[in-house]
Structure formats: structure tokens, C-alpha cells
Amino acid sequence: MDYLVVYTSNTGNTQKVAMKIFETLPGKSKDIVSLEELHGEEADTYFVGFWNNRGTCKTEVLDLLSDLHGKRVALFGTCGLSGNKEYFKQVEKQVSVFLPDDNEYLGCFMCGGKMAPQILEKYRQMQAIHDTPQIRAMISAYEDGMLHPNEQDFKDAEEFVKSVLRE
């Protein structure tokens, strides 16, 4: 198989981006599967998707990356802190370090995503105790995340795939 899109999704955001990436990949020698349903499928090129959790991803994603050898690998992910390119770079660095050196790393695409409602509830509880600019910024980021992934994010994901394939 030429391409395999493997993803894990907590709230559906990463799954939506995974579908766009899969649609963008050329040809018929491709597949898409959730990490939880991965059973030995192999490909030359992997697109591995994850949802960001405190600057990294699930251990299962890191395990998958660590087990890949001699492959071309691109990462993609969603994050509640949309629009923060510097933070996206930090997440990429935290995750990509688990990819063994015998792989060809193709880069990473990150975009914003909705967060679970209980996160907003936690932020509101914190705000009720001590209303700070940092907590207000976290609530604002949550609200902005509710608008993602959006059409621009999907176009950017499509462009990322096309740029990876041109190299």
C-alpha cells in the first residue's frame, strides 16, 4: 500500500482532518483507519494523526511512531489552542522525537479543534475562584476552538498533503 492514514480522535476533530487528508491522497493504494482499529496494515507513507493533550499525544500514538522503520511519515493533529503557531511547533517537537531516525520525516500539520465541554466547565470554576487574565485567555481559546476545524483548516490540510507529496 502506498498511503495509510492512522488517527486517534477524542472529540471528532482529528477524524475530520484525517478524512480530508485521505481524500487528498492520490490513487487507490491507500487506506484510513483509527489507531484503535489498526491491525498490522503496512504502507510506504504514513500520515499519523492525534489530538493534543498538554503538549503531546496519547502514549499509543508514540508507541506507533516508535515502531515505524524505513517509512515516510507525516504527522497531523488538532489542538484547542488554535492559531498559536509557536505552541503547534512545540507539540510537533514533543511528538516527532519518538520517530526513529531510519524514517523520512515529512513534517507536521496542526490546526485548532473543539475541546470537550468539561474543559470549559473547569475553566469557569477556576474563574469563579480567581478571575485572572490567564483564565480569561483560556476561556477565549476554548471559544475560538469551537470554530475549528473549519473550511480553512481543511484547505490547509489539503495543501499540506500536496506539499508533502511534491517533495
Question: What is the domain range of residue 99?
Answer: 3-113+149-165
User: Do 92 and 139 reside in the same domain of the chain?
Assistant: no
**Other C-beta atoms within 10 Å of 105: how many?**
16
Give the model confidence (pLDDT) of 117-128 as tens digits.
888 899 999 999
Q: Does position 83 have pLDDT exceeding 80, yes or no?
A: no
Residue 29 grid cell: 493504494
**Other C-beta atoms within 10 Å of 150: how many?**
12
The tally of CA atoms less than 13 A away on the side-chain side of residue 114 is 15
User: Do 88 and 122 reside in the same domain of the chain?
Assistant: no
The rounded percent of the chain whose pLDDT value lies above 90 is 76
Residue 75 grid cell: 504527522
User: Do 128 and 65 reside in the same domain of the chain?
Assistant: no
- Considering its fold, how many domains does the chain have in total? 2
Look up the CATH number of the domain holding residue 158: 3.40.50.360
Question: Confidence class of residue 93 from pLDDT cuts 50, 70 and 90?
Answer: very high
Contact 81, 112 (CB under 8 A): yes
User: Do 92 and 118 reside in the same domain of the chain?
Assistant: no
User: Do 63 and 131 reside in the same domain of the chain?
Assistant: no
